[in-house]
């Protein structure tokens, strides 16, 4: 028995993976599209190749990924990597997430200070130019 792949569901899966709402995908697809049209598209089992290519370009994925993605096969494939004796992944983080967060805040602060300094330099230059023009 050959299993058919639901193109519309796959479009929805990819859209959600990328954090797009239906309105966002409609915007990416162009003026002819709105949320309702995207919703109707996601209900279709088979999507026309031309529309599938348009959606794939908007989502920046190959159209073949939408055509051939099978969630059951993907889950089955992922499950082959699990250690059956433990039943879960045993991931040990080798850094302190709070340290990384503090580093990001420090980098952000330095960037903000550099931007502020550049802005002050530009303002100073503009004031000098204005003084010359007067």
pTM, full prediction = 0.54
Helices and strands in the chain, H and E counts: 7, 0
Query: What pLDDT, on a 0 to 100 scale, did the predictor assign at position 87?
Result: 52
**Residue 26 reports pLDDT greater than 80:** yes
| Cβ-contact 13, 25 below 8 angstroms | no
Percent above pLDDT 90 for the chain: 57
The Cα 114–Cα 110 span in angstroms is: 6
User: Residue 19 phi/psi, 5° resolution?
Assistant: 70, 25
Count the neighbouring beta carbons within 10 Å of the beta carbon of residue 9: 16
The Cα 3–Cα 38 span in angstroms is: 24
Query: What pLDDT, on a 0 to 100 scale, did the predictor assign at position 85?
Result: 47
Q: What is the pLDDT of residues 44-83, one digit of tens each?
A: 999 999 999 999 999 999 888 888 887 766 655 555 555 4
| Cβ-contact 4, 70 below 8 angstroms | no
The Cα 87–Cα 111 span in angstroms is: 44
Q: Is 60 left (phi over 0), alpha (psi -120 to 50) or beta?
A: left
């Amino acid at each position: 028995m050959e299993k058919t792949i639901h193109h519309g569901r796959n479009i929805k899966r990819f859209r959600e993976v990328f954090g797009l709402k239906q309105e966002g995908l409609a915007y990416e697809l162009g003026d002819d599209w709105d949320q309702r049209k995207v919703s109707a598209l996601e209900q279709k089992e088979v999507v026309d190749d031309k529309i599938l290519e348009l959606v794939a370009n908007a989502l920046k994925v190959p159209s073949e990924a939408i055509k051939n993605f099978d969630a059951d096969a993907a889950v089955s494939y992922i499950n082959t990597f699990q250690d059956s004796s433990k039943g879960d992944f045993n991931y040990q983080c080798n850094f302190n997430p709070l340290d990384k967060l503090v580093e990001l805040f420090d980098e952000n602060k330095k960037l903000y200070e550099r931007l502020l300094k550049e802005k002050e330099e530009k303002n100073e230059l503009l004031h000098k130019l204005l003084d010359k023009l007067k």
